[in-house]
Structure 1
Amino acid sequence: MAIVTDHFEVTVKLVDEGANHSTLTFQSQDAAYADVVVAKTALVAALEAITDCVIQRISINEVWKNDAFAYPAGVETANKLSATVELEGGIGKKANIKVPGPKDALFGASGTAGFNTLDTSNAAFITYCELFENAA
């Protein structure tokens, strides 16, 4: 399995006088980022010629896909790990982390009372949580 580029998208956020917004997303036919930037310029010019709304924001997104996709056997997104963690420096502030289809290794041993309890010392879970730490 490899995660590879599938396509690029150009997203344009338009606003009106009442601060109402409309978001348009266009899938690019270009394979190279530099070509998408050029196409975005033409898209913006054409869009400005047909709308009285103001363009507030434009983004170019690269969409990736699994090039060897297969549905996993015995896994359901309805089964979720839900863990409430205290935020560093948050003085009592908390966040909830949800993981669909969690691996059994994140919990106590199968058949034990702790099987539905998160093992907070699990290295993979700690690594995942550390991705969201404040770098300051």
Structure 2
Amino acid sequence: VNSIGIDKVFVIIGHKADLVKDRISGIRCIRQAGLLGTGDAVARARSALLKDNKIDSVLILYGDTPLLSQEIIRKLIEKHVSSNAGATLLTAQLKNPTGYGRVIRSSASKIVKIVEELDASIYEKVIEEINVGVYCFNKRP
């Protein structure tokens, strides 16, 4: 992410935290006790983000997202900024979306919710648009 102009990076660490911390340098690590999900991970970084007045937007991504390129991240950020959206998320179409959260849209194509595989109805499970797990949010207190 540094190569696309992101200079403030926080890594939320939990499982095998010491191994991760040893492999990255110059990056602030914030510990998450237990596997409590993305929302809890973001909450752990919240106070550090709010203290920094130079941060306008926050990019959230999983460290193990496959096939994620600098170009895709750059385009997501550009779309987020140009659309003046409060939140932007990356989605993908998969012929076999088993195991992924489905993106549920309204008749006007607006995202209504994301339903995880385990919680999806039989109708939602046939939806091929998935949540990739890459988000951009405007920072606000």
Q: TM-score range by the shorter chain?
A: under 0.3
TM-score by length of 1: 0.25
TM-score by length of 2: 0.24
Give the number of the structure whose alpha-carbon radius of gyration is greater.
1
Higher strand share: 1
Higher helix share: 2
Q: Which has the higher contact order (CA 8 A, sep 6+)?
A: 2
